Structure 1
Amino acid sequence: MSAKVLKHAVIYTGEEKIEDGYVRFTDKILNVGPASEYQAQAGDDVEILRDRVIVPGFIDVHAHGGYSYDAMDGDADQIAAMAQKMMTNEGVTTLFATTMTQSDHNIEHAMAGVKAAAAKNPVIQGIHLEGPFISPVFKGAQPEEYIKDPDTKLLAHWNELSGNMIKLITYAPEDNGAAAFEDYCLSHGIVPSVGHSNATRAQMMQSKATHVTHLYNAQREFKHREPGVTGHAMLENSMTGELICDGFHIVPDMIKLALELKGVDRIELVTDSMRAKGMPEGESELGGQKVFVKDKQARLADGTLAGSVLQYPDAFVNIMRFTGCSVADAVKMSSGNQAKEFNLTQKGYIIPGKDADMNLFDSAFKLQETYSFGQAHHAE
């Protein structure tokens, strides 16, 4: 098999920055290093990419939908098409299709649909089960009538239906049955994530959660007499926090605060996007609820933020703009941290042996092209 070579770009491998570099690959990364060290081999297809920046493909562990599609629809072809759109338009080369609080039947349908979609499109590497085991106090845009206490038997059933694709679960650890539920997660490779939760700091200290869903949003707030979920996440080095960097869910100063307190190794950028992403403004839908999209914000009729229409390259640029962090730091928060936390051993880095998942940006950080398993895709 002949190899593709991208040469003379600035390359962020996830481990180092190479100012004038090359990367040689098929479906896997074969070689990467300074351009001066490239040794031509027969059949190499060399492309010169001056004034380009190459970073690892993005990993979004929290995205419900986009481009008119939603994981809860349970349609394998549509979910596969959704993942393809996210990869082509946003550089998301690894996706955890995310569900939400709904009826048992609808969640079962989604589990089967995502499993079948993943067989069609390997960009889908897992499922993030968000709800229904959450607190009605911080339900956000999750429909309250389907909320229930943690149910280990039900989770095991859904995980079996999905082909054991559930990799992340959002739940309220203060609810009855949470301890056994957490034990099931930890023994089945599922990361337990506190979210949509009214837990106190004391309750969080008893929890086995190691991840926090959309830090700051839909959780007991950080207050001077009760740290709550947010304060616990900030204080504990074991906790990894998601950030929705659209400037609406969290104001830039609070994003900067989270990064300064947590550090670059414990933050992951997510979109929490819904089906309206990539679509014209106006009325949309989330979990059977009407959603109205205007000025890049998605809200329920009562004004509650309902997911987002954030595209991943905007999150990537925004974290640098809001906090002043480096490109290398943004790369960690968009790929490397996720690869490590979820044991995605072939993802997250541009180093030999990994899947050839890469994003090419121009010097102004506008996405130009995405490579997924070594195949080129141009942003629409």
Structure 2
Amino acid sequence: MTVQNASLLLKNARLVTGAATCQAGWIRLERGMITEVGDGKPPEDMERAVETVDVDGEWVVPGFIDLHVHGADGAEVMDGTPAALRRIGRFHARHGTTGWLPTTLTAPVASILQSLQAARRVQQSPSPDDGARILGVHLEGPFISPRKVGAQNPAHVLAPSVEVMRAFEHVSPGLVKKVTLAPEQPGALALVHWLRERGIIPSIGHTEGTFAEIVRAMEAGATQATHLFNAMTGLHHREGGAAGACLLADDVTCELIADTLHVHPDVMRLVVRVKGPDRIALITDAIAATGRPDGRYRLGELEIVVTEGKSLLKDGHTLAGSTLTMDAAVRNMVSRVGVSLEDAVIMASTTPARELGLGDRKGAIAVGYDADLVVLDENLTVARTFVQGREVYCRR
């Protein structure tokens, strides 16, 4: 399918419309939107009038939305070019991602500005072969703890600064949707207030904050946690830490890297039990090595080594992003954590859409929603991906 505005009918589908499932249904797409959804067989006159795709009983689910992506297929967001961003978007679309937030690293301000400008150019001038659409940008730093940098360069860490954020906003008004910061750093709470006033998500991450410091950030307006448990103070029986505060907060949504390496499946099961799918957003934290063979790569300015898909800094023990894809995250949640496909889809699609303020357009299969859809086979592997009604991937 190459024409976005063409009418298209998907039939003989098992639909996961959100929290509900229809074992046999159909969807009509037109002008990039979902215009009709039905049970059973579609009307015969409709089939005759539009192009029809028989998905042969496979699953059709809302497109996945990834709030945390650094790269894929040899390209990285910090390359700072539209070509790199389009390469990343095409790769992740093959794995069911229909919308994403290019995610920067802690780097010189000039490099971050260059990446923002590239994302703005791609977002404003979409190409038919972009794959997943850019929904905004996630700044993972530079306002993090120098002692919880993870796989980022501590030389470029900055204290939380409204002035620096104004510079980012000046070159890309409205583009930044999420900022990861360490709430215990001087100036952090003022920045949290500033972000909330502008509709930007302040996310708790790369922090050595105590339980009390994290709670104060939540009271100031922080509403997300960046890759829960990773690069933050953990849950301890004498100090709840950042992880404990985020788990207990009913209105805080937690990113979860569901590769079973960053967080053990048993702990992910605990997170689901405590938070529920409505407060978990599956992410990949994918890097340029995603989709590439094992070997040596770079994450920003740092050298990393990928062995059997596991990405580490040269020190051999610090995880450096992941090589995860969203379809694999969904499969892991179903097969390793034991959640239903419906709940996994909520975490991969519905929750992130709501968090971005797009819950009335994306993250569900319903009339009036964007025609962002993924067809999954019995093994939950991607067979087709549609972005705004355009087929951007089809497994041959």
TM above 0.5, yes or no, is: yes
Please point out which of 302, 308, 332 is paired with 1:289.
302
- How far apart are the structure 2 equivalents of 1:251 and 1:2? 44
Which residue identity is paired with 1:229?
A
Code of the residue aligned with 1:71 in structure 2: it is V
* Per-residue CA distance 1:201-224 (angstroms, 9 max, x = gap): 111121121100000100011101
Query: C-alpha separation between the residues in 1 aligned to 2:229 and 2:244?
Result: 9
Conserved 8 A contact 2:63-2:349:
yes
Hey, what's the Cα distance between the residues in 2 that align with 1:38 and 1:192? 47
Write the deviation string for residues 126-161 of structure 1: whole angstroms up to 9, x where unpaired: 100000100012110011011111001111210221
Matched, 1:8 2:12: yes
Aligned: 1:373 with 2:377:
no
Query: Could you tell me how far 1:81 is from its partner in structure 2?
Result: 2.4
Matched AA of 1:75: T
How many residues in Structure 1 have an aligned counterpart in Structure 2? 379
Q: Which residue of 1 aligns with 2:96?
A: 91
- 2:28 — aligned with what? 24
Alignment of 1:283-362 (within 5 A): 283-303=296-316, 304-344=318-358, 345-362=360-377
Quote the Cα distance in structure 1 between the aligned partners of 2:70 and 2:64: 16
CA distance in 2, matches of 1:365, 1:75: 32
**Residues 334 and 249 (structure 1 numbering): CA distance in 2 closer, same or farther, change over 3 Å?**
same
Distance 1:38 1:20 in 2: 14
SS in 1 for 2:147: helix
Matched, 1:182 2:192: yes
1:275 equivalent in alignment to 2:288: yes
Letter matched to residue 15 of structure 2: I
Q: Which amino acid aligns with 1:200?
A: T
**Cα distance per residue 1:277-328 (max 9 Å; x no partner):** 0111101000111111111111100121000011111001101112211111
Secondary structure of residue in 2 paired with 1:136: coil
What TM-score results when the alignment is normalised by the length of structure 2? 0.93
Q: Distance in 2 between matches of 1:160 and 1:276?
A: 32
Mapping 1:154-193, distance limit 5 Å: 154-193=164-203
Q: Distance in 1 between matches of 2:363 and 2:75?
A: 26
| Shift of residue 255, structure 1, vs aligned partner | 0.8
Q: TM-score, normalised by structure 1?
A: 0.97
Equivalent residue, structure 2, for 1:127: 137
C-alpha distance in structure 2 between counterparts of 1:38 and 1:194, whole Å: 50
- Aligned partners of 2:12 and 2:41 also within 8 Å: no
1:242, distance to aligned residue in structure 2 (A): 0.6
Contact conserved, 1:97 with 1:127, CA < 8 A, in 2? yes
User: Structure 1: any 5+ residue segments left out of the alignment?
Assistant: none
Q: Which residue of 1 aligns with 2:129?
A: none
Are 2:160 and 1:153 equivalent residues in the alignment?
no
The 8 Å contact of residues 15 and 24 in structure 2, kept in 1 or not, is answered as yes
2-structure distance, mates of 1:164, 1:266: 24
Using the alignment, how far apart are the partners of 2:100 and 2:23 within structure 1?
29
Contact between 1:22 and 1:38, CA under 8 Å: does it hold in 2? no
Q: 1:84 to 1:119 in 2, by over 3 A?
A: farther
Which residue, 105, 111, 128 being the options, matches 2:110?
105
Letter in 2 for 1:31: E
Alignment match, 1:47: 53
Paired letter, 2:290:
K
1:69 aligned to 2:85?
Answer: no
- Percent identity at matched positions? 34
Q: Which amino acid aligns with 2:11?
A: K
The structural deviation recorded for 1:118 is 1.5
Deviation string 1:321-349 (CA, Å, 9 cap, x unpaired) is 12211111011000000111111242111
Structure 1 residues 144 and 247: CA distance shift in structure 2, 3 A: same
SS of the residue 1:339 aligns to = helix
Report the secondary structure of 1:293's partner residue: strand
Contact 1:2 1:43 in 2 (8 A): no
Structure 1 residue 2: deviation in Å? 4.8
Contact 1:359 1:370 in 2 (8 A): yes
User: Partners of 1:358 and 1:257 in 2: how far apart?
Assistant: 29
- C-alpha contact 1:256 1:322 (8 A) present in aligned 2: no
Cα 1:2–1:128 shift into 2, 3 Å: closer
